[in-house]
Amino acid sequence: GAVVSQHPSWVICKSGTSVKIECRSLDFQATTMFWYRQFPKQSLMLMATSNEGSKATYEQGVEKDKFLINHASLTLSTLTVTSAHPEDSSFYICSARTPTRAQTQYFGPGTRLLVL
Amino acid sequence: AQKVTQAQTEISVVEKEDVTLDCVYETRDTTYYLFWYKQPPSGELVFLIRRNSFDEQNEISGRYSWNFQKSTSSFNFTITASQVVDSAVYFCALSALRDDKIIFGKGTRLHILP
């Protein structure tokens, strides 16, 4: 089956620093990748949709200048949390869609971010 | 607007009991997809099933079964003879054909007690 990886799996950083999270589709080309955020004991909330080679589309209420998304290749999308603050601490999950199987998203294992 | 409601926040059952997780959805789209995902304590989402809106056949996979009823906009999930390893958070989700966005319900936390 299709595999999506995320790196790092967890990260602890100081307030004010920037953190980059990578999402890779390992065995397929992903024209579209999605980024979700999940706070403890809550549901997954879609943050943004990124298409390879174009600007990401952000959901309402998500600050595009704070959460920078780059989808530079068909197998890699990155999410950079700029000037992270404790309220950004969360579980970030990416997913990737294959062009051949619409409506099927393969989820990465997630990245736990803790901002001190 | 699309919405997924999982009214059961948390359920506890004793091992070997059957348990049904409820899911009710709202959408104006005629073509859509429904999903169930399992999220164990590790956090990784485990895909369980995808069902499109034109296929109302119920499905059984081992101890898991799903009941899709378009008339009541429900897509319920039953675990038969539950096991401790079934303990997890289960999410019901909805996606329209016109876009790829998956809308998740708030999840049901299932505890299977030994």
Q: Does the beta-carbon distance from B47 to A49 stay under 8 Å? A: no
| Residue whose pair of structure tokens reads 């059984």 in the numeric block | B60
Task: Tell me which residue of A24, A20, A44 sits closest to A93, measured CA to CA.
Answer: A44
Strands B102-104 and B3-5: unpaired
Closest residue on chain A to B98 (Cα): A103
Per-residue model confidence as pLDDT tens digits over A13-29: 999 999 999 999 998 88
Closest residue on chain A to B101 (Cα): A46
Q: Does the beta-carbon distance from B43 to A102 stay under 8 Å? A: no
- Closest approach of chain A CAs to the CA of B26, in angstroms? 17
Per-residue model confidence as pLDDT tens digits over B64-77: 999 999 999 999 99
* Residues comprising chain B, all counted: 114
Q: Does the beta-carbon distance from A43 to B33 stay under 8 Å? A: no
Strands (E), B27-87: 32-39, 46-52, 59-61, 64-69, 74-79
Q: How confident is the model at residue A109 (pLDDT cuts 50, 70, 90)?
A: very high
Residues of B in contact with A94 (CB under 8 A): none
DSSP per-residue string spanning A17-85: --EEEEEEESSS--SEEEEEEE-TTS-EEEEEEEETTS--EEPTT--TTTEEEEEEETTEEEEEE-S--
Rounded Cα distance, A31 and A77, in Å: 10
Q: How confident is the model at residue A101 (pLDDT cuts 50, 70, 90)?
A: low
pLDDT of the residue at B5: 97
Summarize the confidence of residues A30-41 as an average pLDDT: 92
Instruction: Assess whether pLDDT exceeds 70 at residue B83.
Output: yes
Task: Kindly list the distances between the CA atom of residue B36 and the CA atoms of A23, A99, B80, in Å, as whole numbers in the listed order.
Answer: 23, 22, 16
Instruction: Assess whether pLDDT exceeds 80 at residue A104.
Output: no
Instruction: Assess whether pLDDT exceeds 80 at residue A68.
Output: yes
pLDDT of the residue at A24: 95
